[in-house]
Structure 1
């Protein structure tokens, strides 16, 4: 597979959304609250059986024992594990409020526990949470049940507990194996520990084991990151997520502890990305898109080849387009043509639940234009192709006229060899996949209107 030259990577390394949704979360408004979300649930419950979709669940566990300086997640740093018991009681209350409107026992085909650190919960607390989920929803046979794992918080015995509870996919937060980099970001985890956990997970038989990496961290060099890449290739996880570190200390307080002078230069970041792409492709991984790689036999790689790849708030997914219920503080959901987000502080989230209200703080009801553009953007992000006729038939518009300005803006990307355009549609080239966000951004009406991108990380 061809890739971009370092010069082109630098040229298209601009700030922009990750498009886990469109419109993006920065467009959510407080005018969409609990009442509007409740109405969306009611409408979902009234759909005829033939139109009923399975659900996806996201549960946010915000607690961490220690802070990782690079982190931009919504989290609560505490060693008081007793706080988790209270949080779980409120989580079940939120489940009840949702299923009162939606109906109990709705089929769930995808469950994801994110954070924070979901494995902050004890084994008994994880069992309690899974029991609560099963009381309110029906986990389908073969449902994709995934959990984010901090290697510092689990043992091989704990991994077996996760499997016994029904989890079949793990995502290990590796970030970097270099000890100096780990010290600089306040996350010490010896490579030997991760290797042992990976072996144990394979022996237990998890369907998929992911590893998350970050390039552009303080004290990273091309040479040190190359060592990490070799170790990851030896680990051979089923999937790899390779994120570029976005240094935004004005937005994320923990990042203020990072010494800016320790950060690699932009040219070094590009070199790390180029080396990583080469290393993973040479190791036999398929490039899924953006920052994701998967072994050819993994379900994500199969979905990419078969044109079934999807994208939701957790990133690339094999799930068919379905409704998503977000549970927990700051969790984001999607029901029908709406997005919603829960209160971002645990105090506000609990207070709304104490008032017997759905804890939604903001959201958005999508317009016809939003839906049409979402279809185009997700086609680019997931399939690398937009067929004019399909969009015109679905949204009753003339693509050339409706998106005339956007087609003109595609021209520099076409000349750079990132897209091909003909009478049938738009196709992302093999090189274009590496900056697919830049291609999708052309069709983002909100981004093009205000040109304010400071709140987004850079593409690379």
Structure 2
């Protein structure tokens, strides 16, 4: 690429890099260059994969993702809400989910190698009853070939995640609990549809911590309506005082279709933070946790103790195999990524018919290992140019990247030492722009994603019961 070709990826010089290095953040979706598989080929392709697919190597890590698509209420900022929780619906769904997991458990692809991490996400997995959670985790442990030190994470919310449910998860084998706190400030929480106030949130996390039986991780979100710098400082201080094993810091993303996005579009969010504001919040959080001695292990994640490993979230960025279960879940086997039907009735009909209810599959090209290495390295904040060059034999990777890396170094986004690129705090905030630029430079001519994204992400929210 010429200097003129690289210029759109250059950062602004002379300003505050964490606040204004770029005018917008680039979206980098995992399916961005994967070709949709024709619908008529999906069933046969899946049958072949579960019979013949094997991991890339004898020590290749593997993951499993289990989706629980229910929430007690729809938080205004959330783009993952799909189904309102009811006891009857959750009970019927749990039975279907267990049937799906058990039916394919003995398939060669599922038993090929140990699973290093299992993630129960949603939705809100903790919306299930204590018995349902216990049965689900026990089935996973009984049927999947879990590694001896497998990380088993369950996402939860403060409301409805009572002591009985927590203990059921721990006794069944969960060893990592992730709680979406977002903010401790009562006004900010209530404004987003969160029912628990500050004191209740603090007491809940402290009770989890004091059990001392699992890694406890809390998510904090910056840029929420009413969340001033003062509120954000207090959120950080409270989180550090509680002393969980890990903490995630995420910037608010106004996802189209969410209640908060609609409110902002209607002018009901006058104090919406600018992109520069979000950069300032991120730096404030990174600096605070650094002073507290926390270790940053990804762009959004810090840990206080070695008990927090964050295996699933780190490995998924590497593009490793991921077995997926449950309505709305997504997985990956080799070159193929797949999505389980997000519509509850479609999912139920498929499981009852004895089929894997896959709604869409995509296949990657030969450059996917290179993209995975770039994404993983930038997510970790440290990328070896020599390592990615080895995935592009015959290409002058270092030479093509040199003008771009040098410009980013001057702009304050990266530091360079030999062939190692290390992200600064500003570089970590703008990580998606860096990935986007690497893609453009090293993977030119790659097939563009279909307009609107994959079909399984276009399904509207469903709020119906299973029949």
State the TM-score, normalizing by the size of structure 1: 0.82
Q: Secondary structure at the match of 2:369?
A: helix
For 1:328, the equivalent position in structure 2 comes to 326
Relative distance call for 1:425 and 1:267 in structure 2 (3 A) is closer
1:452 deviation in Å? Answer: 11
For 1:16, the equivalent position in structure 2 comes to 26
**1:60, 1:329 within 8 Å by CA — same for their partners in 2?**
yes
- How big is the alpha-carbon RMSD for the aligned residues of Structure 1 and Structure 2? 3.4
Matching of residue 130 in structure 1 with residue 137 in structure 2:
yes
Matching of residue 247 in structure 1 with residue 235 in structure 2:
no
Alignment of 1:301-320 (within 5 A): 315-317=313-315
For 1:304, the equivalent position in structure 2 comes to none
For 2:281, the equivalent position in structure 1 comes to 272
Deviation by residue 1:429-448 (Cα, 9 ceiling, x = unmatched): 43433433322221224899
**2:133, 2:168 within 8 Å by CA — same for their partners in 1?**
no
Alignment of 1:104-143 (within 5 A): 107-143=114-150
Q: Provide structure 1 residue ranges, at least 5 long, that are not aligned to the other structure.
A: 301-308, 456-460
1:136 deviation in Å? Answer: 2.4
Matching of residue 85 in structure 1 with residue 58 in structure 2:
no
- The match for 2:51 among 25, 31, 42 is 42
For 2:275 and 2:62, the matched residues in 1 are separated by: 41
Matching of residue 433 in structure 1 with residue 428 in structure 2:
yes
For 1:164, the equivalent position in structure 2 comes to 171
Matching of residue 289 in structure 1 with residue 284 in structure 2:
no
For 1:254 and 1:355, the matched residues in 2 are separated by: 39
For 2:63 and 2:302, the matched residues in 1 are separated by: 23
Alignment of 1:187-206 (within 5 A): 187-206=194-213
- The match for 1:73 among 66, 80, 83 is 80
Deviation by residue 1:142-172 (Cα, 9 ceiling, x = unmatched): 2211111101122334322221111111111
Q: Secondary structure at the match of 2:375?
A: helix
1:227 deviation in Å? Answer: 1.8
For 1:297 and 1:316, the matched residues in 2 are separated by: 15
For 2:452 and 2:17, the matched residues in 1 are separated by: 23
Q: How many pairs were matched up?
A: 430
For 1:260 and 1:169, the matched residues in 2 are separated by: 35
**1:63, 1:120 within 8 Å by CA — same for their partners in 2?**
yes
Matching of residue 256 in structure 1 with residue 262 in structure 2:
yes
For 1:76 and 1:85, the matched residues in 2 are separated by: 14
For 1:27 and 1:320, the matched residues in 2 are separated by: 15
- The match for 1:344 among 342, 356, 361 is 342
Deviation by residue 1:317-354 (Cα, 9 ceiling, x = unmatched): 59997421111112111112221111222222223333
**2:174, 2:214 within 8 Å by CA — same for their partners in 1?**
no
1:84 deviation in Å? Answer: 1.1
- The match for 2:382 among 351, 376, 384 is 384
Deviation by residue 1:187-216 (Cα, 9 ceiling, x = unmatched): 122222232223322332233110101111
Q: Provide structure 2 residue ranges, at least 5 long, that are not aligned to the other structure.
A: 1-13, 454-467
For 2:381 and 2:279, the matched residues in 1 are separated by: 25
1:262 deviation in Å? Answer: 4.2
**1:380, 1:436 within 8 Å by CA — same for their partners in 2?**
yes
Q: Secondary structure at the match of 1:151?
A: coil
**1:175, 1:213 within 8 Å by CA — same for their partners in 2?**
yes
1:293 deviation in Å? Answer: 1.4
For 1:175 and 1:433, the matched residues in 2 are separated by: 20
**1:289, 1:436 within 8 Å by CA — same for their partners in 2?**
no
Q: Secondary structure at the match of 1:241?
A: strand
